[in-house]
Amino acid sequence: MISSEVVYQEVYKAVQAMNVSLPVDVAGRLKAAQQQAEGPAQAVLGQINENLLIAAREGIPFCQDTGMVWVHVSLGEEVQIRGLKETISRAVADAYREGYFRSSVVEDPLRERKNTGTNLPAVFHFDIVPGRTLEIYILAKGFGSENCSRVFMLKPTQGREAVIDSVCAVMKEARGVPCPPVVLGVGIGGTFDYAALLSKRALTRALDHPHPCPYYAQLESDLLEAVNALGIGPGGLGGGCTALAVKVESFSTHIAGLPVAVTVNCWADRRAKVLLSEI
Protein backbone atom coordinates (compact mmCIF):
# COMPACT_ATOMS: atom_id res chain seq x y z
CA MET A 1 0.00 0.00 0.00
CA ILE A 2 1.20 3.54 -0.77
CA SER A 3 0.76 5.97 2.10
CA SER A 4 -1.51 8.94 1.44
CA GLU A 5 0.85 11.05 3.52
CA VAL A 6 3.75 10.20 1.22
CA VAL A 7 1.64 11.18 -1.80
CA TYR A 8 0.70 14.45 -0.08
CA GLN A 9 4.30 15.36 0.74
CA GLU A 10 5.64 14.54 -2.74
CA VAL A 11 2.89 16.41 -4.58
CA TYR A 12 3.18 19.38 -2.21
CA LYS A 13 6.92 19.67 -2.83
CA ALA A 14 6.50 19.26 -6.59
CA VAL A 15 3.80 21.93 -6.87
CA GLN A 16 5.80 24.42 -4.80
CA ALA A 17 9.00 23.79 -6.75
CA MET A 18 7.45 23.97 -10.22
CA ASN A 19 6.20 27.51 -9.62
CA VAL A 20 9.55 28.94 -8.55
CA SER A 21 12.03 26.99 -10.70
CA LEU A 22 11.77 25.69 -14.27
CA PRO A 23 12.85 22.16 -15.24
CA VAL A 24 16.55 22.01 -16.12
CA ASP A 25 15.91 21.22 -19.78
CA VAL A 26 13.60 24.23 -20.25
CA ALA A 27 15.97 26.61 -18.46
CA GLY A 28 18.84 25.29 -20.58
CA ARG A 29 17.01 25.97 -23.82
CA LEU A 30 16.13 29.49 -22.73
CA LYS A 31 19.80 30.21 -21.99
CA ALA A 32 20.87 28.74 -25.32
CA ALA A 33 18.23 30.79 -27.13
CA GLN A 34 19.53 33.99 -25.51
CA GLN A 35 23.09 33.23 -26.63
CA GLN A 36 21.94 32.80 -30.23
CA ALA A 37 19.53 35.76 -30.33
CA GLU A 38 20.12 39.34 -31.42
CA GLY A 39 18.43 42.70 -30.86
CA PRO A 40 15.06 42.85 -29.09
CA ALA A 41 14.81 39.05 -28.95
CA GLN A 42 18.05 38.84 -26.98
CA ALA A 43 16.82 41.52 -24.57
CA VAL A 44 13.53 39.67 -23.97
CA LEU A 45 15.30 36.39 -23.32
CA GLY A 46 17.79 38.14 -21.06
CA GLN A 47 14.94 39.49 -18.94
CA ILE A 48 13.30 36.05 -18.78
CA ASN A 49 16.54 34.40 -17.65
CA GLU A 50 17.26 37.11 -15.08
CA ASN A 51 13.72 36.71 -13.77
CA LEU A 52 14.27 32.97 -13.39
CA LEU A 53 17.44 33.53 -11.35
CA ILE A 54 15.68 35.96 -9.01
CA ALA A 55 12.65 33.67 -8.58
CA ALA A 56 14.80 30.65 -7.72
CA ARG A 57 16.96 32.67 -5.32
CA GLU A 58 14.02 34.30 -3.52
CA GLY A 59 11.67 31.32 -3.67
CA ILE A 60 8.96 33.34 -5.41
CA PRO A 61 6.90 32.60 -8.55
CA PHE A 62 8.60 33.43 -11.85
CA CYS A 63 5.20 34.34 -13.33
CA GLN A 64 2.24 36.10 -11.73
CA ASP A 65 -0.11 33.60 -13.41
CA THR A 66 0.61 30.48 -11.37
CA GLY A 67 -1.91 28.59 -13.46
CA MET A 68 -4.70 26.10 -13.11
CA VAL A 69 -3.35 22.75 -12.00
CA TRP A 70 -3.77 19.82 -14.41
CA VAL A 71 -3.09 16.31 -13.09
CA HIS A 72 -2.74 13.05 -14.99
CA VAL A 73 -2.58 9.97 -12.77
CA SER A 74 -1.30 6.63 -14.03
CA LEU A 75 -2.34 4.16 -11.34
CA GLY A 76 -1.08 0.58 -11.24
CA GLU A 77 -3.97 -1.83 -10.84
CA GLU A 78 -2.19 -3.61 -7.97
CA VAL A 79 -1.67 -0.39 -5.98
CA GLN A 80 -3.70 0.08 -2.82
CA ILE A 81 -4.28 3.67 -1.77
CA ARG A 82 -7.07 5.59 -0.09
CA GLY A 83 -8.40 9.03 -0.98
CA LEU A 84 -5.95 9.64 -3.83
CA LYS A 85 -7.80 12.51 -5.53
CA GLU A 86 -8.57 14.20 -2.24
CA THR A 87 -4.93 13.86 -1.10
CA ILE A 88 -3.57 15.40 -4.29
CA SER A 89 -6.11 18.22 -4.10
CA ARG A 90 -5.16 18.97 -0.49
CA ALA A 91 -1.48 19.09 -1.44
CA VAL A 92 -2.22 21.50 -4.29
CA ALA A 93 -4.32 23.81 -2.10
CA ASP A 94 -1.73 23.86 0.69
CA ALA A 95 1.18 24.43 -1.71
CA TYR A 96 -0.59 27.40 -3.30
CA ARG A 97 -1.59 28.91 0.04
CA GLU A 98 1.74 28.46 1.79
CA GLY A 99 3.73 29.43 -1.31
CA TYR A 100 1.67 32.62 -1.67
CA PHE A 101 0.84 31.62 -5.25
CA ARG A 102 -2.09 33.34 -6.92
CA SER A 103 -5.43 31.54 -6.76
CA SER A 104 -6.84 31.75 -10.28
CA VAL A 105 -9.76 29.32 -10.31
CA VAL A 106 -13.40 30.47 -10.31
CA GLU A 107 -16.10 28.01 -9.26
CA ASP A 108 -18.51 28.65 -12.13
CA PRO A 109 -17.50 29.67 -15.67
CA LEU A 110 -20.56 31.82 -16.51
CA ARG A 111 -22.46 33.00 -13.45
CA GLU A 112 -20.73 34.74 -10.54
CA ARG A 113 -17.19 33.58 -11.41
CA LYS A 114 -16.38 33.67 -7.71
CA ASN A 115 -12.78 32.77 -6.90
CA THR A 116 -12.54 29.51 -4.95
CA GLY A 117 -9.60 30.89 -2.97
CA THR A 118 -7.74 27.57 -3.05
CA ASN A 119 -6.82 27.22 -6.73
CA LEU A 120 -9.06 24.14 -6.66
CA PRO A 121 -10.51 22.19 -8.25
CA ALA A 122 -7.62 20.86 -10.26
CA VAL A 123 -8.36 19.11 -13.56
CA PHE A 124 -7.88 15.33 -13.15
CA HIS A 125 -7.43 12.49 -15.62
CA PHE A 126 -6.86 8.86 -14.55
CA ASP A 127 -5.42 5.85 -16.36
CA ILE A 128 -5.43 2.36 -14.83
CA VAL A 129 -2.35 0.42 -15.94
CA PRO A 130 -0.70 -2.89 -15.02
CA GLY A 131 1.76 -2.94 -12.14
CA ARG A 132 2.46 -1.58 -8.67
CA THR A 133 3.50 1.99 -9.43
CA LEU A 134 1.77 5.35 -9.11
CA GLU A 135 2.80 8.09 -11.54
CA ILE A 136 1.43 11.61 -11.12
CA TYR A 137 2.09 14.15 -13.87
CA ILE A 138 1.36 17.76 -13.01
CA LEU A 139 1.13 20.93 -15.10
CA ALA A 140 0.46 24.43 -13.80
CA LYS A 141 -1.24 25.83 -16.88
CA GLY A 142 -1.28 29.58 -17.37
CA PHE A 143 -4.20 30.86 -19.39
CA GLY A 144 -2.46 33.49 -21.48
CA SER A 145 -1.18 30.52 -23.46
CA GLU A 146 -4.10 28.15 -22.76
CA ASN A 147 -6.49 30.61 -24.44
CA CYS A 148 -4.50 30.22 -27.66
CA SER A 149 -4.95 26.42 -27.80
CA ARG A 150 -7.08 24.87 -30.55
CA VAL A 151 -8.61 21.60 -31.83
CA PHE A 152 -8.88 20.82 -35.56
CA MET A 153 -11.00 18.06 -37.06
CA LEU A 154 -9.08 17.35 -40.26
CA LYS A 155 -9.99 14.95 -43.02
CA PRO A 156 -7.83 11.83 -43.15
CA THR A 157 -6.82 12.61 -46.73
CA GLN A 158 -5.23 15.89 -45.60
CA GLY A 159 -2.40 14.07 -43.89
CA ARG A 160 0.93 15.20 -42.49
CA GLU A 161 1.21 18.60 -44.17
CA ALA A 162 -2.20 19.63 -42.87
CA VAL A 163 -1.05 18.79 -39.35
CA ILE A 164 1.98 21.06 -39.76
CA ASP A 165 -0.19 23.80 -41.30
CA SER A 166 -2.66 23.55 -38.40
CA VAL A 167 0.05 23.92 -35.77
CA CYS A 168 1.52 26.89 -37.62
CA ALA A 169 -1.95 28.44 -37.95
CA VAL A 170 -2.29 28.39 -34.16
CA MET A 171 0.91 30.39 -33.74
CA LYS A 172 0.14 32.74 -36.63
CA GLU A 173 -3.09 33.66 -34.83
CA ALA A 174 -1.50 33.81 -31.39
CA ARG A 175 1.60 35.84 -32.31
CA GLY A 176 3.08 37.27 -29.08
CA VAL A 177 0.03 36.67 -26.86
CA PRO A 178 1.22 33.36 -25.28
CA CYS A 179 4.60 34.84 -24.28
CA PRO A 180 6.90 33.08 -26.74
CA PRO A 181 9.17 31.25 -26.91
CA VAL A 182 6.49 28.63 -26.41
CA VAL A 183 6.39 24.88 -25.89
CA LEU A 184 3.69 23.20 -27.97
CA GLY A 185 1.92 19.93 -27.18
CA VAL A 186 0.27 18.30 -30.20
CA GLY A 187 -2.26 15.47 -29.90
CA ILE A 188 -3.08 13.49 -33.02
CA GLY A 189 -5.90 10.93 -33.20
CA GLY A 190 -8.54 9.64 -30.85
CA THR A 191 -11.69 11.77 -30.70
CA PHE A 192 -12.29 15.52 -30.39
CA ASP A 193 -11.83 15.43 -26.61
CA TYR A 194 -9.10 12.80 -26.49
CA ALA A 195 -6.88 14.67 -28.96
CA ALA A 196 -6.89 17.58 -26.51
CA LEU A 197 -5.91 15.26 -23.66
CA LEU A 198 -3.09 13.85 -25.80
CA SER A 199 -1.80 17.37 -26.42
CA LYS A 200 -1.64 17.98 -22.67
CA ARG A 201 0.06 14.66 -22.05
CA ALA A 202 2.67 15.59 -24.65
CA LEU A 203 3.65 18.54 -22.47
CA THR A 204 4.60 16.22 -19.61
CA ARG A 205 7.56 14.87 -21.60
CA ALA A 206 11.00 16.38 -21.14
CA LEU A 207 12.08 18.61 -24.01
CA ASP A 208 15.21 16.52 -24.54
CA HIS A 209 13.22 13.29 -24.95
CA PRO A 210 12.09 12.93 -28.58
CA HIS A 211 9.14 10.72 -29.41
CA PRO A 212 10.18 7.04 -29.25
CA CYS A 213 8.75 6.40 -32.74
CA PRO A 214 11.16 7.73 -35.42
CA TYR A 215 8.26 8.92 -37.59
CA TYR A 216 6.81 11.10 -34.84
CA ALA A 217 10.26 12.19 -33.65
CA GLN A 218 10.85 13.53 -37.16
CA LEU A 219 7.44 15.19 -37.12
CA GLU A 220 8.35 16.95 -33.86
CA SER A 221 11.53 18.22 -35.47
CA ASP A 222 9.74 19.38 -38.62
CA LEU A 223 7.03 21.11 -36.59
CA LEU A 224 9.63 22.97 -34.53
CA GLU A 225 11.41 24.09 -37.67
CA ALA A 226 8.14 25.25 -39.28
CA VAL A 227 7.02 27.20 -36.21
CA ASN A 228 10.38 28.89 -35.79
CA ALA A 229 10.38 29.83 -39.48
CA LEU A 230 7.32 32.02 -38.78
CA GLY A 231 9.65 34.63 -37.31
CA ILE A 232 7.36 35.60 -34.42
CA GLY A 233 10.21 35.40 -31.95
CA PRO A 234 10.54 36.00 -28.19
CA GLY A 235 7.81 38.29 -26.92
CA GLY A 236 6.47 38.49 -30.48
CA LEU A 237 9.29 40.91 -31.37
CA GLY A 238 10.76 38.82 -34.17
CA GLY A 239 13.55 36.29 -34.41
CA GLY A 240 14.07 32.59 -34.92
CA CYS A 241 13.14 31.25 -31.48
CA THR A 242 9.35 31.22 -31.49
CA ALA A 243 9.23 27.75 -29.89
CA LEU A 244 11.62 25.90 -27.60
CA ALA A 245 10.12 22.51 -28.48
CA VAL A 246 7.13 20.73 -30.01
CA LYS A 247 6.05 17.44 -28.42
CA VAL A 248 3.64 15.01 -30.11
CA GLU A 249 1.43 12.21 -28.78
CA SER A 250 -0.75 10.02 -31.01
CA PHE A 251 -3.57 7.51 -30.63
CA SER A 252 -5.76 5.34 -32.82
CA THR A 253 -8.69 7.08 -34.48
CA HIS A 254 -11.76 6.52 -36.68
CA ILE A 255 -11.38 5.80 -40.40
CA ALA A 256 -13.20 9.03 -41.22
CA GLY A 257 -11.25 11.40 -39.00
CA LEU A 258 -7.92 13.04 -38.20
CA PRO A 259 -8.31 15.03 -34.97
CA VAL A 260 -5.42 17.37 -34.17
CA ALA A 261 -5.19 19.36 -30.93
CA VAL A 262 -2.58 21.97 -30.09
CA THR A 263 -1.98 23.04 -26.49
CA VAL A 264 0.12 26.18 -26.28
CA ASN A 265 2.42 26.62 -23.29
CA CYS A 266 4.47 29.75 -22.73
CA TRP A 267 8.15 29.77 -21.75
CA ALA A 268 6.92 29.17 -18.16
CA ASP A 269 6.74 25.44 -18.92
CA ARG A 270 5.81 24.27 -15.43
CA ARG A 271 5.68 20.51 -15.14
CA ALA A 272 6.43 17.93 -12.47
CA LYS A 273 6.34 14.17 -12.07
CA VAL A 274 5.86 12.15 -8.90
CA LEU A 275 6.73 8.45 -9.13
CA LEU A 276 5.95 6.09 -6.25
CA SER A 277 5.94 2.31 -5.92
CA GLU A 278 4.33 -0.09 -3.49
CA ILE A 279 6.79 -1.58 -1.04
pLDDT digits (tens, 9 = 90+) for 4-24: 999 999 999 999 999 999 999
For residues 52 and 22, what is the distance between their CA atoms, to the nearest angstrom?
Answer: 8
Same structural domain for residues 107 and 169? no
* Residue 136 shares a structural domain with residue 173: no
Q: How would you classify the pairing of strands 133-141 and 123-129?
A: unpaired
Residue 131 in contact with residue 275, Cβ under 8 Å? no
Share of the chain above pLDDT 90, in %: 98
Clarify whether residues 233 and 173 are in a common domain: yes
Q: Which residues make Cβ contacts (< 8 Å) with residue 271, sequence separation at least 6?
A: 18, 23, 137, 138, 139, 203, 204
State residue 278's pLDDT score.
Answer: 84
User: Is pLDDT of 279 > 70?
Assistant: no
Range of the domain at 88: 4-142+271-277
**Regarding predicted confidence, which is higher, 89 or 240?**
89
Instruction: Quick: pLDDT tens for 173-184.
Output: 999 999 999 999
Q: Which amino acid is at 132?
A: R
pLDDT bucket at 224, cuts 50 / 70 / 90 = very high
Do residues 67 and 270 touch, judged by C-beta distance below 8 A?
A: yes
| Mean pLDDT value of segment 226-241 | 96
Residue-wise pLDDT tens digits, 248-265: 999 999 999 999 999 999
Q: Are residues 65 and 100 in the same domain?
A: yes
Number of domains, the chain: 2
Indicate if 135 and 161 belong to the same structural domain: no
Domain co-membership, 131 together with 237: no
pLDDT > 80? residue 268: yes
**Whether residue 125 sits in one domain with residue 237:** no
pLDDT for 98-113, tens place per residue?
999 999 999 999 999 9
CB 261 within 8 A of CB 172: no
Whether residues 160 and 260 share a domain: the answer is: yes
Q: Are residues 94 and 159 in the same domain?
A: no
Query: Same structural domain for residues 121 and 151?
Result: no
Are both 16 and 134 inside the same structural domain?
Answer: yes
pLDDT in tens, 59-71: 999 999 999 999 9
CB crowding 62-93: b at 16 or more within 10 Å, else e = bbebbbbbbbbbbbbeebebeebeebbbbbbb
What was the pLDDT predicted at 72?
98
What pLDDT is stored for residue 252 in this prediction?
98
The whole-number pLDDT of residue 211 equals 98
User: Taking 70 as the threshold, does the pLDDT of residue 235 lie above it?
Assistant: yes
Q: Average of pLDDT values for 32-57?
A: 96
What does pLDDT average to over the chain? Answer: 97
Residues 71 and 160 in one domain: no
Please report, for the domain that includes residue 199, its CATH number.
3.30.1330
Q: Is the pLDDT of residue 159 over 80?
A: yes
In this prediction, residue 199 carries a pLDDT of 98
- Report, as an integer, the average pLDDT of 1-6: 94
Question: pLDDT at position 240, please?
Answer: 86
